[in-house]
Structure 1
Amino acid sequence: MDKTIAIHPDILGGTPCFAGTRVPVESLFDWLAGGETVDFFLEQFPSVTPEQVAAVLADAKTHATSTLRVN
């Protein structure tokens, strides 16, 4: 899949979702914050691929570590 995240005004009002699904990306972080594992999340949302989850988590890590550095 070329894109990891898709935003379409007609799908959940433009909420960022995993591409090709109606699963909001935010739900991954909500489940993880609630103590669930990535494997459990993937079991609950089989339309999301492990590669999509890995890409979102890698992007979040990059964003968090690059924007929080002290100069």
Structure 2
Amino acid sequence: MNWQDYIVSKDQVLLGKPTIKDTRISVKLVLELLSAGWTKKQILESYPTVTAESLRAVFVYLKESLIDPRNHLRL
């Protein structure tokens, strides 16, 4: 999966924080929801603009950021 197809950073959206493309849902928000005990199903139902693929892209983005943080968007 190419996370760049789903995760973007635009200065005019959430001050450039990584978000799911075409939404104002940040990678950080997804992590906060999951750490609060939300399930994938709850996120998808509560945020209809989020797809299963874009949610998966969040994790690919995070994994690759851990491997080489120089090549990724800032959290």
Q: Which of the five TM-score ranges fits, normalised by the shorter chain?
A: 0.7 to 0.9
Gaps of 5+ in 2: 69-75
**CA shift for structure 1 position 63:** 4.8
Q: Give the structure-1-normalised TM-score.
A: 0.76
Q: 1:34 to 1:8 in 2, by over 3 A?
A: same
**Which has the higher mean CA deviation after the structures are superposed, 6-15 or 52-61?**
52-61
Q: Give the structure-2-normalised TM-score.
A: 0.72
Aligned residues: 65
Q: Between the two structures, name the one with larger relative contact order (CA 8 Å, sep ≥ 6).
A: 2
Identity of aligned residues (%): 29
* 2:7/2:57 contact within 8 Å kept: no
**How large is the Cα RMSD of the aligned pairs?**
1.9
